[in-house]
Structure 1
Amino acid sequence: MNSRILLVEDEPGLSLTVTDLLEAEGYQVDTAMDGPTGLAKAGTGDYDVVILDVMLPGMSGFDVCRELRQKGCDTAIIMLTAKTHVTDRVVGLKLGADDYLAKPFDPSELLARVESLLRRVPKKKRIPVAQFEFGNVSADFALGQVYKKGEPVTMAAKELQLLRYLIDRRGTVVSREELLQNVWEYQAEVSSRTIDVHVAWLRQKLEDNPQSPQYIHTVRGVGYRFTA
């Protein structure tokens, strides 16, 4: 199960509880603590479900939902609120929310609602990125060019392919087995050590501090995760 969920919730304790609950079921979870950040993340279209609190700093969940739908974002949205008035539920649903859950809620009910939405909404297929920027790095995969601080970075074809694969699956843990299958296509001479070496080369070329990477993270015993 590789569905990606964005949780927009400003209560740290509840955010941690829900994140742990979803990750224990195998979901990939990103979080945001305020409305504007939630809107920016959800607007990327990278998620299968957005769990959106109504009462948020900076921008209400209602406004986030409204703007997402106005921008054409069709990601499934579950709204959370401490308000139990029927009018609040109606407002959220009219703005384009797919489901509504009042606080406090039973964790099993939230899971059931997420699973129900995922059954109804086809899983998003992420289109490979052609261009991407993170930190002081910009990559144009169509042209096969990468720049850091405006200066060109020399990269081998396999390094570019690995970087693009990690970026395409940003926020998701990518196993070495998956990289062997999809980047190296199970070439007999390639081992997991080869992957580790290529990742080290990417960090050396792109990270400001390769020993403490900001973007390409090691997930011990599994593989790597790109975050930006």
Structure 2
Amino acid sequence: MSSYKILYAEDDETLAFLTKDNLEQNGYDVVHCLDGNLCMEAFKKEKFDICILDIMLPKKDGFEIAADIRKINNNVPIIFLSAKTLKEDRIKGLKLGADDYLVKPFSIEELALKIEIFLKRSQKNAISEKVSYRVGKYNFDTQNYLLTFDQEKITLTQRESELLKLFLDNKNTVLKREQILTSLWGDDDYFMGRSLDVFISRLRKILSTEQHISIENLHGIGFRFNIQD
């Protein structure tokens, strides 16, 4: 049985019961909260391996929870579940540091698969052969998702860390969009492509002071992470 602990925020009690019951049958330890305040109280008290957040919650919505979680922990994966289908809502969630977004009604099987993928990646990152890279002036610690220089520390999300590591392992080489999407998400559909653009934009901003580093967009092909050694 898995000992992984999931924080699950959902105010629809029927949906919450079904989802929690299914995940527990898969061996997960699920802590369910009916509103945003209870969710944050639970997060501060216990260590969670992944967070699953509905957006429309009483007292504190999922976006607010994600922002608060990222102030405390920038590494724990966050998956949004929402009836909101607007592209802007999805992009907002990703910009707040979420790693994925499922639209209601969702498949329990798909949710379980995404959880499994995130947890496997967390394990893989922890035992990765190469754990330290030089990125311009920064040292990149892949295990702790940290970019450091002197007293400066920038904590990346798990997804940002995975993308940066993929680029560094293939520096100065063209990576096709579908290669990146399949490597990070296991899928290359339209929405995942938009998600990739968000994460690349965030990495560009983080590395904007590095004159010898650029993420080149090759229209219709993919990207190249250029580093002048």
Structure-2-length-normalised TM-score: 0.52
Query: Residue 123 of structure 2 aligns to a residue in which SS?
Result: coil
Q: How much does 1:104 deviate?
A: 0.2
Q: Give the aligned length.
A: 124
**Which residue of structure 2 aligns with residue 23 of structure 1?**
24
Structure-1-length-normalised TM-score: 0.52
Are residue 102 (structure 1) and residue 103 (structure 2) matched? yes
Q: How much does 1:36 deviate?
A: 0.9
| Alpha-carbon distance in 2 for matches of 1:52, 1:60 | 9
Query: Residue 91 of structure 1 aligns to a residue in which SS?
Result: helix
Gaps of 5+ in 1: 126-228
**Which residue of structure 2 aligns with residue 68 of structure 1?**
69
Asked if the contact 1:82–1:104 (Cα under 8 Å) also holds between the matched residues in 2, the reply is yes
Query: Residue 100 of structure 1 aligns to a residue in which SS?
Result: strand
Structure 1 residues 45 and 96: CA distance shift in structure 2, 3 A: farther
Q: How much does 1:12 deviate?
A: 0.2
Compare the two structures and name the one with the higher helix fraction.
2
- Matched AA of 1:8: A
Q: How much does 1:41 deviate?
A: 1.2
Query: Residue 7 of structure 2 aligns to a residue in which SS?
Result: strand
Gaps of 5+ in 2: 127-229
**Which residue of structure 2 aligns with residue 40 of structure 1?**
41
Q: How much does 1:108 deviate?
A: 0.6
User: How do residues 197-216 of structure 1 correspond to structure 2 at under 5 angstroms?
Assistant: none
Query: Between Structure 1 and Structure 2, whose CA radius of gyration is higher?
Result: 1
| Alpha-carbon distance in 1 for matches of 2:11, 2:78 | 17
**Which residue of structure 2 aligns with residue 58 of structure 1?**
59
| Alpha-carbon distance in 2 for matches of 1:43, 1:121 | 21
| Alpha-carbon distance in 2 for matches of 1:5, 1:70 | 19
**Which residue of structure 2 aligns with residue 84 of structure 1?**
85
Root-mean-square deviation (CA, aligned residues, Å) is: 1.7
**Which residue of structure 2 aligns with residue 189 of structure 1?**
none
- Matched AA of 2:66: C
Q: How much does 1:121 deviate?
A: 1.7
Asked if the contact 1:8–1:35 (Cα under 8 Å) also holds between the matched residues in 2, the reply is yes
The alignment-based identity, stated in percent, is 40
